[in-house]
């Protein structure tokens, strides 16, 4: 993650382009709110939307596939705990497993590997000619991730990014859009309750009479479960991490 003073899923210049003036908010205030909005997006979705290097400790499942908690950008190293009777761990050769990050390597979005990030052992004829030191009696044709607690180490780069031709991808445009919307809602100061209430309800206005300062509101929609704004909540809901995914 970048330095907190400049980190976020939108930029100050993005908000200036949307018409936010210096009189409304200075750069430092906007950057602080961008970081706050970005952390909120991560908390709601259970994901992050940039490339981050991480080392994961994952429970082996006894199966060919190993689910990971965040979309895979690249894998640097995979190792299996060799057990109490052998020091260190056993590195797994990259030629023995598939990395499911085809949205970046192949531009494939159907199926979308970001929704099912995993490593999977090769089996059968794909292993012809490959040499491997068996783990606890496993053979080449029955390779699985040995059952255990945090016994598989995965080092790599992870994050929900969208393909743009680069090796890591970019922050999705819809996430950038939501970050800007969340900051715009915060432009009225905390002490200005009337303006904050107006900003929070603006999306619900069905009709407005300027002269009499009156307006009518649409009924609250059930999909507004996070902020109450269906535009924001609909986008966040579409990016939420499935509950069945593996390690974070």
pLDDT tens digits, one per residue of 90-126: 899 898 899 999 999 999 999 999 999 999 998 655 5
* Per-residue pLDDT, 198: 55
The answer to whether the CB of 64 falls within 8 A of the CB of 144 is: yes
138 and 176 share one domain:
no
DSSP assignments along 44-108, one per residue: HHS---S-EEEEEEE---SSSEEEBSS-EEEEEEEEEE--TTSSSEEEPPGGGEEE--HHHHT--
88 and 132 share one domain:
yes
Q: Which residue has the higher pLDDT, 206 or 84?
A: 84
The separation between the first and the last C-alpha atoms of the chain, rounded to the nearest angstrom, is 16
Q: Give 155's strand partners.
A: 55, 77
Evaluate whether residue 166 is within a structural domain. Answer: no
Confidence of residue 206 (pLDDT cuts 50, 70, 90): very low
Domain boundary among 158, 179, 197: 158
Q: How far apart are CA 90 and CA 80, in angstroms?
A: 5
Question: Count of CB atoms within 10 A of residue 188's CB?
Answer: 17
In sequence order, which residues have a C-beta less than 8 Å from that of residue 49 and are 6 or more positions away? 9, 41, 42, 159, 160, 161, 171, 172, 175, 239
111 and 185 share one domain:
no
149 and 84 share one domain:
yes
148 and 115 share one domain:
yes
Evaluate whether residue 7 is within a structural domain. Answer: no
The answer to whether the CB of 200 falls within 8 A of the CB of 212 is: no
Q: How far apart are CA 108 and CA 193, in angstroms?
A: 47
Residues of the domain holding 45: 12-49+171-238
3-state secondary structure of 245: coil
Give the chain's domain count. Answer: 2
Evaluate whether residue 244 is within a structural domain. Answer: no
Evaluate whether residue 217 is within a structural domain. Answer: yes
* Per-residue pLDDT, 193: 53
* Per-residue pLDDT, 190: 44
DSSP label of 18: T
Evaluate whether residue 248 is within a structural domain. Answer: no
In sequence order, which residues have a C-beta less than 8 Å from that of residue 123 and are 6 or more positions away? 64, 141, 142, 143
The answer to whether the CB of 117 falls within 8 A of the CB of 101 is: yes
Q: How far apart are CA 124 and CA 107, in angstroms?
A: 27
Domain boundary among 158, 180, 196: 158
Q: What percent of the chain has pLDDT over 70?
A: 71
Supply the pTM of this predicted model.
0.78
Q: Which residue has the higher pLDDT, 142 or 162?
A: 162
Provide the pairing of β-strand 97-99 with 72-81: unpaired
How deeply is 247 buried, as exposed, middle or buried, from its count of CB atoms within 10 A (0-12, 13-18, 19+)? middle
Q: What is the mean pLDDT of the chain?
A: 82
Evaluate whether residue 18 is within a structural domain. Answer: yes
Domain boundary among 158, 185, 218: 158
Q: How far is CA 13 from CA 19, 36, 181, 215, in A?
A: 10, 17, 14, 33
60 and 40 share one domain:
no
Evaluate whether residue 5 is within a structural domain. Answer: no
Q: pLDDT of 21-37, one tens digit each?
A: 999 999 999 999 999 99
178 and 111 share one domain:
no
Q: Which residue has the higher pLDDT, 63 or 200?
A: 63
25 and 68 share one domain:
no
* Per-residue pLDDT, 199: 52
152 and 69 share one domain:
yes
Evaluate whether residue 184 is within a structural domain. Answer: yes
131 and 211 share one domain:
no
* Per-residue pLDDT, 246: 59
The answer to whether the CB of 177 falls within 8 A of the CB of 229 is: no
152 and 135 share one domain:
yes
151 and 83 share one domain:
yes
Q: Which residue has the higher pLDDT, 166 or 226?
A: 166
């Amino acid at each position: 993650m970048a330095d907190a003073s400049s980190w976020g899923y939108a930029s100050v210049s993005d908000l200036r382009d949307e018409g936010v003036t210096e009189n409304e908010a200075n750069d430092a205030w906007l950057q602080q709110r961008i970081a706050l909005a970005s952390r909120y997006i991560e908390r709601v979705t259970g994901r992050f939307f940039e490339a981050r290097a991480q080392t994961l400790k994952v429970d082996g499942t006894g199966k060919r596939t190993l689910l990971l908690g965040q979309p895979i950008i690249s894998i640097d190293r995979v190792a299996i705990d060799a057990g109490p009777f052998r020091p260190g761990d056993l590195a797994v050769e990259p030629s023995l497993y598939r990395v499911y990050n085809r949205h970046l390597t192949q531009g494939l979005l159907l199926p979308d590997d970001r929704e099912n990030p995993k490593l999977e052992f090769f089996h059968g004829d794909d292993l012809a000619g490959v040499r491997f030191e068996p783990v606890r009696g496993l053979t080449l044709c029955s390779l699985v991730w040995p059952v255990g607690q945090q016994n598989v180490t995965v080092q790599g780069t992870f994050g929900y990014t969208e393909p743009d031709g680069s090796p890591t991808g970019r922050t999705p445009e819809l996430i950038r859009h939501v970050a800007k919307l969340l900051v715009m809602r915060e432009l009225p100061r905390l002490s200005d309750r009337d303006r904050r209430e107006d900003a929070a309800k603006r999306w619900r206005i069905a009709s407005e009479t300027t002269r009499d300062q009156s307006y009518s509101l649409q009924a609250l929609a059930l999909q507004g479960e996070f902020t109450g704004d269906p535009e924001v909540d609909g986008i966040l809901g579409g990016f939420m991490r499935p509950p069945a995914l593996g390690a974070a």
